[in-house]
């Protein structure tokens, strides 16, 4: 699972580090797939540089993985990269169009959809026929995983217009159990036929003892938290009363369109943050400025009040802290240290917010290979162990 020679690959699409499986980005969450159901046969649509492969192997070490990519150069480079640095992470690369591949490919226990056209969605992802193909390609009891990029959790991405809203409207009628995990601007959507009341099945190859062997302490912590996040995953549904989409014409899908939609929603979100700042009696003049994030005496009580009321804006501080870290800015490292110090009390008072948002983003900061190691990483790993063991 680890490279014996140094490797750090950072592109707009993939982050790989030879000394860690999990790097703090969305592909880490693909480890959820084998925890959600059987995973003897896995199909990955969208290989890229292989960011999904080692997280999948962490929970399904014995599975057969077929990885599909339209770009033969990408498939060739990734194959060579893994043969050199991760020879134990076997997979079969297929050069094909993802939309057509599933028709004659047989059936899979797990289908992972991580397909993009440049920095946007290919049109077929937002259309029902593709998802009917995914359904037909799944074996009984199978799971589909989707990387749904778009608006961040603090800007209510399931409200229109957004790609996540469009996808929720398509997928909810096809899968009775549709849930998601948030990672800043991404959602990892877990699609199963299991009833909500049934515990998620676990493949024999994904047993905790088998998957955790040989992993670093940080990778073990991420894996342990993934199991708990799956248990706390929220429904991937269009909110009640939300307008039904009429088509894909008005759905923002390019980075420019999504940035414009974020800018449109930002004032309303800030107004809500300001209202809660007033409720807890802190300085409201810094709302909407960088000072808000750098002042724990303001950001913490406001965020906890938002979490207490179950508001999406409670994800603002964790998302910004982690996002800045991936831009090389470590000035909000205090957030990770605060989570490490307060995790046990947060587990008692705000368990959903801790598991879905605060711990994952603090742990993503600790796993990030682009910044130096944090002084609070070891205490955070101990808190993760404590929280996951007690749940």
Is 353 within 8 Å of 346 (Cβ atoms)?
A: yes
User: Among residues of the chain, what percentage have pLDDT more than 90?
Assistant: 87
pLDDT at 206: 36
Mean pLDDT of 56-62: 96
pLDDT in tens, 150-177: 999 999 999 999 999 999 999 989 999 9
Q: Residue 199 — very low, low, confident or very high, per pLDDT cuts 50/70/90?
A: very low
Q: What is the pLDDT of residues 266-278, one digit of tens each?
A: 999 999 999 999 9
- Res. 263: pLDDT tops 90: yes
Where is pLDDT greater, at 210 or 357? 357
Q: Within 13 Å, how many C-alpha atoms sit on residue 159's CB side?
A: 11
pLDDT (0 to 100) of residue 307: 98
Mean pLDDT in residue range 247-274: 93
pLDDT reported for residue 204: 35
Q: Which long-range contacts (CB under 8 A, 24 or more apart) does 279-285 make?
A: 279/305, 280/305
Whether the ω angle into residue 53 lies within 30 degrees of 0, i.e. cis, is no
DSSP at 205? G
Mean pLDDT computed over 226-252:
85
All structural domains of the chain: 8-235 (3.40.50.150), 255-389 (no CATH)
**Host H or E run for residue 16:** strand 15-17
Out of 193-202, 204-213, 241-250, 347-356, the most confident range is 347-356
* Residue 369 contacts residue 15 (beta carbons within 8 Å): yes
**Mean residue pLDDT across the chain:** 92
The whole model's pTM is what? Answer: 0.93
Name the CA radius of gyration of the chain, rounded: 20
């Amino acid at each position: 699972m680890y490279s014996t020679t140094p490797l750090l690959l950072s592109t707009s699409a993939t982050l790989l580090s030879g000394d860690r499986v999990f790097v703090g980005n969305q592909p880490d969450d693909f480890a959820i797939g084998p925890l959600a159901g059987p995973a003897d046969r896995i199909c990955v649509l969208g290989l890229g540089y292989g960011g999904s492969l080692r997280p999948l192997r962490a929970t399904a070490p014995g599975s057969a993985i077929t990885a599909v990519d339209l770009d033969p150069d990408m498939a060739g480079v990734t194959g060579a990269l893994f043969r050199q640095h991760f020879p134990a992470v076997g997979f079969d690369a297929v050069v094909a169009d993802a939309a057509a591949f599933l028709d004659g490919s047989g059936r899979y226990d797990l289908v992972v959809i991580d397909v993009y056209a440049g920095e946007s969605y290919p049109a077929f992802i937002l259309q029902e026929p593709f998802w009917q193909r995914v359904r037909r390609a799944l074996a009984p009891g199978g799971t589909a995983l989707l990387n749904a990029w778009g608006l961040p959790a603090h800007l209510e991405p399931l409200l229109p217009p957004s790609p996540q809203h469009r996808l929720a409207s398509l997928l909810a009628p096809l899968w009775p159990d549709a849930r998601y995990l948030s990672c800043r601007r991404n959602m990892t959507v877990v699609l199963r036929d299991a009833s909500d009341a049934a515990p998620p099945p676990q493949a024999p190859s994904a047993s905790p003892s088998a998957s955790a062997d040989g992993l670093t302490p940080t990778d073990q912590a991420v894996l342990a938290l993934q199991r708990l996040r799956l248990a706390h995953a929220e429904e991937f549904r269009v909110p009640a009363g939300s307008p039904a989409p009429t088509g894909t014409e008005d759905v923002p899908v390019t980075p420019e369109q999504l940035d414009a939609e974020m800018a449109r929603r930002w004032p309303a979100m800030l107004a809500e943050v300001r209202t809660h700042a007033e409720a807890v009696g802190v300085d409201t003049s810094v709302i909407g400025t960088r000072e808000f994030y750098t002042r724990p005496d303001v950001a913490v009580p406001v965020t906890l009040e938002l979490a207490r009321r179950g508001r999406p804006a409670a994800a603002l501080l964790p998302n910004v802290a982690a996002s800045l870290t991936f831009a090389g800015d470590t000035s909000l490292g205090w957030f990770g240290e605060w989570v490490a110090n307060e995790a046990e009390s947060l587990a008692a008072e705000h368990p959903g917010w801790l598991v879905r948002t605060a711990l994952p983003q603090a742990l993503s900061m600790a796993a990030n290979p682009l910044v130096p190691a944090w002084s609070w990483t070891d205490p955070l790993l101990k808190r993760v162990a404590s929280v996951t063991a007690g749940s």
